[in-house]
């Protein structure tokens, strides 16, 4: 299981965010992998009790985070940013890629777009080029 993917597309079937479109640049992304299902409790005496004992803990699919830069001719021209905003909270198919020595490996999983947050930067004026740096986070619902 490798999770150092960069987003290629996310689609709910009617709206598609395309990270390969003009004006979309991937700045960075998470690579942490599956999350541990925590079965560790503290009892009334303050002792830590690991309900898994010495066995390996269970794992669940990770959240994949990506930092994206959107560049457009003017502040109203960010089509893929608008698609991303319209997909917030939506369930769909996450498609990512991992670059290799001579190509890329494609990874897909069902996911939900959980968060879209960021800031516009530079000039934010009529008729002037515009850019925004946005962080997006998907909860994968299956392992790659």
Summarised one tens digit per residue, pLDDT across range 48-84 is: 999 888 889 999 999 999 999 999 988 888 999 999 9
Judge whether 79 lies within some domain: yes
The predicted pLDDT at position 128 comes to: 85
Q: Is residue 18 part of a domain?
A: yes
pLDDT at 1: 66
Residue 111: is its pLDDT beyond 90? yes
Least confident interval from 52-61, 83-92, 93-102, 109-118? 52-61
Tens of pLDDT, residue by residue over 127-138, are 888 899 999 999
Average pLDDT over residues 106-122: 95
**In terms of pTM, does the model score above 0.85?**
yes
Count of structural domains, the chain: 1
Give the total residue count for the chain: 144
What's the confidence (pLDDT) of residue 76? Answer: 85
Q: Is 118 left (phi over 0), alpha (psi -120 to 50) or beta?
A: left
Q: Write out pLDDT tens, residues 24-49.
A: 999 999 999 999 998 999 999 999 99
Identify whether 39 is part of a domain. no
- What's the CA gap between 144 and 139, in Å, rounded? 12
* pLDDT at res. 65: 97
User: What is the distance between the alpha carbons of residues 120 and 24, in angstroms, rounded to a whole number?
Assistant: 14
* Mean pLDDT of all residues belonging to the chain: 94
Exposed / middle / buried, residue 143 (Cβ in 10 Å: 0-12, 13-18, 19+): middle
Range of the domain at 103: 6-34+45-140
Report yes or no on 1 lying in a domain: no
Structural domain contains residue 91: yes
Residue 126 pLDDT > 90, yes or no?
A: no
């Amino acid at each position: 299981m490798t999770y150092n993917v960069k987003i290629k597309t996310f689609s709910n079937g009617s709206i598609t965010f395309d990270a390969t479109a003009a004006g979309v640049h991937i700045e960075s992304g998470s690579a942490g992998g599956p999350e541990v299902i925590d079965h560790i409790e503290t009892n009334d005496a303050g002792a830590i009790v690991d309900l898994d004992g010495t066995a390996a803990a269970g794992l669940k699919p990770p959240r994949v985070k990506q930092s994206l830069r959107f560049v457009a001719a003017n502040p109203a021209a960010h089509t893929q940013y608008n698609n991303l905003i319209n997909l917030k909270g939506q369930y769909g198919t996450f498609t990512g890629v991992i670059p290799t020595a001579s190509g890329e490996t494609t990874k897909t999983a069902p996911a939900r777009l959980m968060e879209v947050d960021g800031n516009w930067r530079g000039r934010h004026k009529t008729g002037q080029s515009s850019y925004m740096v946005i962080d997006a986070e998907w909860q994968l619902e299956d392992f790659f």
